[in-house]
A = this chain, B = another copy of it.
Amino acid sequence: MNEIMATGISVLLVDDHPIVRQGYRRVLESQGDLHVVAEADNAADAYSAFKARDPDVVLLDISMPGASGLEAIRNIRARSPRARILVFTMHNEAVLVKAAFSAGASGFVTKSSEPSAVVSAIRSVARGERAMSDDIAHILAEDSLSAGSALDQLGEREIEILRQFAGGATTEQIATHLNLSVKTVQNYHYLIKTKTGARTDAQLVRLAANCGLTKI
């Protein structure tokens, strides 16, 4: 790879929406120095593609169905600690950003960013630098000042379950997606309610929406 594209940056594109991938591909390749060498629409394929192609940068949407995108980050980093992973998603909750960085991401940009910002973030992480879009920096800055949001008390699994629940998924659907027993999902549901102080499922949905975890 390095011999072939000594002057370019090879990119692995991971997103579960085909047209979104196709859009990225065209945007990135129009830059000249960016080359999309593989695509994946789930965490498992992303890992396989990473092993096969060893790209300079992984552009990863962590809000994929099934296994957590954070899991994918950890898997890739476990195999290759030098991997540069740029998380690219529409979620902009501080807890998610921090979780991504602590899982080993090199950068975090939101889909609200200008394409030019995404492209320059790719170049930054390819150079080994840390990168984040302006809105993310702003959110992290605010977060570090104020006492955290209600979501800060939640663990990674709890956040994922809350996201799927607030998105309208049933308990069984969540259990299937995450390979958990229904009972465990119910327990998480209860735990999330007590931790956040929500007395009602509706309050939980509103909380998730207010924290940017789900769009309505």
Q: Which B residues are in CB contact (< 8 Å) with A183?
A: none
Give the CA-CA distance A205 to B204 in the complex, in Å.
10
Q: Are A199 and B216 in contact (CB under 8 A)?
A: no
Name the interface size band of chain A: 35 or more
A56 within 8 A of B: no
Which of A72-80, A112-120, A139-147, A151-159 is the contact stretch? Answer: A112-120
Q: Which B residues are in CB contact (< 8 Å) with A24?
A: 19, 23
Q: Are A27 and B26 in contact (CB under 8 A)?
A: yes
Q: Which B residues are in CB contact (< 8 Å) with A90?
A: 17
Residues of A at under 8 Å CB distance from B?
A: 16-20, 22-24, 26-27, 30, 63, 65, 90, 93, 111-115, 118, 165-170, 199-206, 209-210, 215-216
**With contacts A20-B20, A23-B24 known, what are 7 further pairs, Cβ within 8 A?**
A18-B112, A19-B115, A22-B23, A26-B30, A166-B202, A168-B202, A170-B199
